[in-house]
Amino acid sequence: MSPMARTAPVPAATDPAIIRNFCIIAHIDHGKSTLADRMLQYTGVVKSRDMKAQYLDRMDIERERGITIKSQAVRMPWELDGTSYALNMIDTPGHVDFTYEVSRSLAACEGAVLLVDAAQGIEAQTLANLYLAMENNLSIIPVLNKIDLPAAQPEKYAAELANLIGGDPEDVLRVSGKTGVGVEALLDKIVRDLPAPVGDPNAPARAMIFDSVYDTYRGVVTYVRVVDGMLHPRERIQMMSTRATHELLEIGVSSPEPTPSKGLGVGEVGYLITGVKDVRQSKVGDTVTNLAKPAAESLAGYADAKPMVFSGLYPLDGTDYPVLRDALEKLMLNDAALVYEPETSAALGFGFRVGFLGLLHLEITRERLEREYNLDLISTAPNVEYEVTLEDKRVIHVTNPSEYPTGKISEVREPMVSATILAPNEFVGAIMELCQSRRGIMGGMDYLSEDRVEIRYRLPLAEIVFDFFDILKSKTRGYGSLDWKADGEQVADLVKVDIMLQGEQVDAFSAITHRDKAYAYGVMMTGKLRELIPRQQFEVPIQAAIGSRIIARESIRAIRKDVLAKCYGGDITRKRKLLEKQKEGKKRMKMVGRVEVPQEAFIAALTTDESKDKAKK
Amino acid sequence: MPSVLPLGDPAPADGILPPQVLDGVDSRKFGLYVHIPFCAVRCGYCDFNTYTATELGGGASQDAYASTAISEVEFAVRAMEASGLPQRPLSTVFFGGGTPTLLPAEDLARILTAAVGHWGLEPGAEVTTEANPDSVTPESLQLLADAGFTRISFGMQSAVPHVLKVLDRTHTPSRVPLVVQWARDAGLAVSLDLIYGTPGESMADWQTSLETALSYGPDHISAYALIVEEGTKLAAQIRRGEVPGIDDDDHAAKYELADQLISAAGLDWYEVSNWSRTPEQACKHNLAYWRGDDWWGIGPGAHSHMGGVRWWNVKHPTAYANRLGSGVSPAAGRETLDAGTREVERIMLEARLGTGLQVDALDKVGRHAVAGLIADGLVEPGAAFQGRLVLTLKGRLLADAVVRRILPD
Ligand SMILES: Nc1nc2c(ncn2[C@@H]2O[C@H](COP(=O)(O)OP(=O)(O)OP(=O)(O)O)[C@@H](O)[C@H]2O)c(=O)[nH]1
Ligand SMILES: C[S@@+](CC[C@H](N)C(=O)[O-])C[C@H]1O[C@@H](n2cnc3c(N)ncnc32)[C@H](O)[C@@H]1O
Ligand code: SF4
Ligand SMILES: [Mg+2]
């Protein structure tokens, strides 16, 4: 067993042969961040007294929800057989919404620790992340975690893992991120088994940007992995895609606090600060080179994260619109996956249509906006993006149902995903039934072990992105797991359902659904609104319609009494205060035609049951 | 449980009023309200400032109450004089409660005599007392009439035993025609209070109550929708599901029935909840409230108003007596209304009256709203064309909504 390294290799003067770059990948909650904690502790970069659980989950929202949202890279020393090595470890998120974070991290590494919870076994993101790592030609170290748990079944899952990756179950390490058992052995194995980075130290510098983060104090902090050559402080660098040049104000490594260095050499992972204020000027996937001695060819980048679900975000108080605009601009600095554009809604006023990677991303973004910028927001029901071809061959991309064209439509295409579901084999029937009801086409089924199957389906994104996972969980008594990735599109029989209050269309409640589900949506929404909208001085019909055809209707009876008919003696003050309160309440109403709709009703109507409790997937 | 007082500014110990009360004082009538904060039992729905003997821990304060009230009358005389207000005779006096008639008629007479002794009475002044049907006798009523009372308002509430039971009323229905007759014999004008929408009250029950009340030929009827006030026993019973809740549609239907039957019996509405046989028999004291006249409220928790200044006394009878005992104003707080707030109050109060509200006194928002109100059937088109906003039957049921629509933004 290795002791803590007595000396740490110095950045910019480290032989690539003693560098090991790896990330920890796993299904959500299998213990990546906890394992990272032990590594930080055993390598001495974080003192035991400074240690806290999931040390690298630094955002409030990460700590509250107990999940990792952003990847974090840390340089740690480790000694084996008398040699001090430099390890770069990247802790990655496990939730499917943040898969693109994982794929970026992989590009900075030669190896991956594939962690599997010894009480759960292989799950959908285990597979998804493993395949990603294999596509990137990484060496994989399979590890079973949480072996301290009484419910752990290390033999069974070691066999499953060996079966999946090839190799001997005996070779699967067993650790506990909680107790620390086996973690030192794992660090040794990382040094022994993972390849060292290779690159040309004398070639023009080339470094891959794998993350870019906005920091209020330091501006944009860019995380890079150097492939060839060397980067030094104070020199001018160039972004190869945009040709933009910057001065390198600071360069260094995270250990885990930022530590400036004399540079970064081949195989090293660290950060750059150039004074730019916008992460888009330091784009993830771009290659950094030296302006004086530029490289001829950039490194292969990766595709931008593509937004999958869209929702309108509106300030409850219309005067907060500029605050929301500034807040989105700032958040975007830190979240290249966020896209937005201004939109207006007749019912909700001025707001933004925002694209997200998934519902968790939506929820986290909304929560951060509300919390960090003190905003009260309404978010409209999320939807996917549709491609509508009109009869005149024009093509329109619709991210907001109210923009769905009313003219002659020749074809509508909807985004598709390929989904992988893992579950004990007893649930196969239930899962197939669910997927079929969601218009899925089965792609295949494999046994991962005697009792665990992997089922592949091609499904419309709109069918799985909202409530599918919750239903899957309940149909598999919590054992099923889901992963999905974008997979083209298909022509579908889609319609727009409009909701009308007293004949007046309420754009915020429109939805695009499959024709078979339009009726259910109409009934659900009109019913909900009938409960939520207070009675008015006149009867208010609520209708759901496809075009001019009404498919569901409800009605709110007119209020008949709104008067305090009691003798309050001379206490006029009390009566007036009551009236002032009612007047105040009226101000917080949104007018739809003549109908006064309280904001709470909008929020409640737009809060799909699906969007609650989405914290964990 | 008595309701809470408003929050206001502190009131000065000497009761002196700001100079603004002098503006236009000659055009305002002057009335007196006397609060009697005692009841034999507390009705489950009631949050008025009233106390049972047990709640007070003994009857001592009831015996001394008339004297305490008279000391406030004297305080009022001094404070008004010191504020520069001219001496005005009383145009209305109203004894309310609680149950005024729980005190010996002699006590009520003594208070009235003291007030009239100081201020005098206008010719034809209205002097009313509220009364519970089981707290009067022919003798007590005669004594009141002899002391100068002209009018009595009985808390009949309902004619149906099971409704009276839910309301915790102590009297039997058969008592009401008796007391009405005794009051008549004493020469008092008679008003009856009714409550509708009590949990468990059917439409037929309400019709019975209305028809029974009308059969006694009252000069005046008040019909109030039962309000479930926070903190009352009734509120708790409803919350616990022991009695059914209140239904606004039921209230509306019962109001419509009330208006129909009472009108058919020859009484006209002059305020949302009040009907009188002739305009002269409308309760002038209550009209003074709605019209923004001046009045001084005597007694714990009583509210007063003079020229845009409102104040209210401390609620507990003991605290009240202590204040007066040490020569200090019993006021707990007061507010001085600015012009805008006075306007809001005026609209809020006058809109409820049969005589209505002057349309051209409204601001632009209010005047513009009138056409919509006519279209929605809430105000009388004929009256509106003559420049007055008068509520229709539908409008009376939606009076608060109408007021919100015509108030300045
Ligand atoms: N008993 C036990 N619990 C563990 C162990 N490792 C992690 N946990 C617990 O498992 C839960 C998830 O741990 P994390 O380290 O946050 O998991 P993660 O994989 O980083 O989760 P994401 O970043 O959200 O994907 C926490 O409650 C940990 O305390 C372990 O070795 N033993
Ligand atoms: C000040 S109270 C007192 C009258 C007298 N103590 C009695 O109860 O007969 C005047 C009237 O207000 C009405 N009232 C009291 N509480 C009410 C409530 N919670 N809802 C509606 N009307 C109420 C009753 O009709 C009552 O007669
Ligand atoms: S008798 Fe009148 S004042 Fe007394 S508790 Fe009953 S309703 Fe209230
Ligand atoms: Mg984590």
Span B99-125, pLDDT tens digits: 999 999 999 999 999 999 999 999 999
Look at residues A98, A86, A74, A88 and name the one whose alpha carbon lies nearest to residue A26: A98
- Going by DSSP bridges, is the β-strand pair B294-298/B30-36 parallel, antiparallel, or unpaired? parallel
Structure confidence at residue A277 as a pLDDT band (50, 70, 90): confident
Beta bridge partners of B177: none
Q: Which of residues 90-119 of B touch A (CB under 8 A)?
A: 96
The residues, any chain, with a CB within 8 Å of residue B89's CB and separated by 6 or more, are B30, B119, B120, B121, B122, B125
DSSP 8-state assignment for residue A97:
G
Q: Does B257 touch chain A (CB under 8 A)?
A: no
Instruction: Tell me, using a 6 A CB cutoff, whether residue A382 lines ligand 1.
Output: no
Structure confidence at residue A378 as a pLDDT band (50, 70, 90): confident
Instruction: Tell me, using a 6 A CB cutoff, whether residue B43 lines ligand 3.
Output: yes
Output the CA A582–ligand 2 centroid distance in Å.
24
Look at residues A152, A145, A193 and name the one whose alpha carbon lies nearest to residue A173: A145
The residues, any chain, with a CB within 8 Å of residue A418's CB and separated by 6 or more, are A443, A456, A457, A458, A484, A485, A487
Question: How many angstroms separate the Cα of B255 from the Cα of each of B199, B267, B272?
Answer: 15, 15, 10
Q: Does A563 touch chain B (CB under 8 A)?
A: yes
ipTM for the complex shown: 0.89
Instruction: Tell me, using a 6 A CB cutoff, whether residue A566 lines ligand 2.
Output: yes
Dihedral sign computed on CA atoms, order A70, A71, A75, A79: positive
Evaluate if residue A280 carries a pLDDT over 80.
no
At B2 the pLDDT is: 59
Question: How many angstroms separate the Cα of A574 from the Cα of each of A10, A64, A426, B335?
Answer: 76, 44, 66, 12
Q: Do A570 and B297 touch (CB under 8 A)?
A: yes
Tell me the one-letter amino acid at A521: Y
Percentage, residues of chain B above pLDDT 70: 98
At A448 the pLDDT is: 86
Instruction: Tell me, using a 6 A CB cutoff, whether residue A29 lines ligand 1.
Output: yes
Q: Which of residues 367-406 of B touch A (CB under 8 A)?
A: 376, 378, 396-401, 403-404
Span A359-371, pLDDT tens digits: 889 989 998 899 8
Query: What integer best gives the mean pLDDT of chain B?
Result: 94
> Which H, E and C letters describe B82-143, residue by residue?
HCCCCCCCEEEEEEEECCHHHCCHHHHHHHHHHHHHHHCEEEEEEEEEEECHHHCCHHHHHH
Taking the CA of residue A569 as reference, the ligand 2 atom at the shortest distance is 1
Q: Does B191 touch chain A (CB under 8 A)?
A: no
A19-23, A531-535, A605-609, B405-409: range with lowest mean pLDDT: A605-609
- Closest-lying ligand to the alpha carbon of A616? 1
Tell me the C-alpha distance between B347 and B400, whole Å. 11
Span A355-383, average pLDDT: 89
Beta bridge partners of A91: A24, A72
Q: Which of residues 342-371 of B touch A (CB under 8 A)?
A: 344-345, 348-349
A166: left (phi over 0), alpha (psi -120 to 50) or beta: left
Output the CA A27–ligand 4 centroid distance in Å.
10
Q: How many residues does chain A have?
A: 617
Output the CA A177–ligand 1 centroid distance in Å.
8
Tell me the C-alpha distance between B307 and B27, whole Å. 10
Distance of residue B217 Cα from the nearest chain A Cα, in angstroms: 22
The residues, any chain, with a CB within 8 Å of residue A9's CB and separated by 6 or more, are A15, A18, A19, A77, A84, A85, A86
- CA closest to A571 among chain B residues: B303
Q: Which of residues 33-72 of B touch A (CB under 8 A)?
A: 33, 35, 48
Q: Does A49 touch chain B (CB under 8 A)?
A: no
Do the beta carbons of residue B369 and residue B288 sit within 8 Å? Answer: no
- Which residues of chain A are within 8 Å of residue B344 when distances are taken between CB atoms? 576, 579-580
- Closest-lying ligand to the alpha carbon of B154? 2
At A408 the pLDDT is: 85
Please name the residue whose Cα sits nearest to atom 8 of ligand 3.
Answer: B46
Span A226-247, average pLDDT: 93
Q: Which of residues 583-612 of A touch B (CB under 8 A)?
A: 583, 586
Question: How many angstroms separate the Cα of B299 from the Cα of each of B34, B136, B316?
Answer: 6, 22, 10
Q: Most A CBs within 10 Å: which of B7, B221, B289, as the mutation test of the A interface?
A: B289
At B214 the pLDDT is: 98
pTM equals 0.70
Evaluate if residue A614 carries a pLDDT over 60.
no
Instruction: Give the count of beta carbons closer than 10 Å to the beta carbon of residue A378.
Output: 24
Q: Which two tokens stand for residue B85?
A: 């207000």
Evaluate if residue B58 carries a pLDDT over 70.
no
Span B347-374, pLDDT tens digits: 999 999 999 999 988 888 889 999 999 9
Q: Which two tokens stand for residue A104?
A: 């970026």
Evaluate if residue A543 carries a pLDDT over 90.
yes
Tell me the C-alpha distance between A284 and A279, whole Å. 8
Q: Do B8 and A573 touch (CB under 8 A)?
A: yes
Q: Does B302 touch chain A (CB under 8 A)?
A: yes
Among A564, A570, A586, beta carbon nearest to B305 = A570
Span B291-335, pLDDT tens digits: 999 999 999 999 999 999 999 999 999 999 999 999 999 999 999
Question: How many angstroms separate the Cα of A139 from the Cα of each of A17, A190, A600?
Answer: 16, 10, 53
Span A225-251, average pLDDT: 93
* H or E element that contains A566: none
- Closest-lying ligand to the alpha carbon of B33? 2
Q: Do A583 and B249 touch (CB under 8 A)?
A: no
Span A385-438, pLDDT tens digits: 999 999 999 999 999 998 898 878 999 999 999 999 999 999 999 999 999 999
Q: Which two tokens stand for residue B334?
A: 């007061």
Distance of residue A529 Cα from the nearest chain B Cα, in angstroms: 20
Q: How many residues does chain B have?
A: 409
Alpha carbons within 13 A on the beta-carbon side of A235: 18
Tell me the C-alpha distance between A353 and A382, whole Å. 10
Query: What integer best gives the mean pLDDT of chain A?
Result: 90
Percentage, residues of chain A above pLDDT 70: 97
At A38 the pLDDT is: 96
Among A538, A573, A582, beta carbon nearest to B310 = A573
Tell me the C-alpha distance between A356 and A483, whole Å. 17
At A2 the pLDDT is: 52
- Which residues of chain A are within 8 Å of residue B33 when distances are taken between CB atoms? 569-570
Instruction: Tell me, using a 6 A CB cutoff, whether residue B39 lines ligand 3.
Output: yes
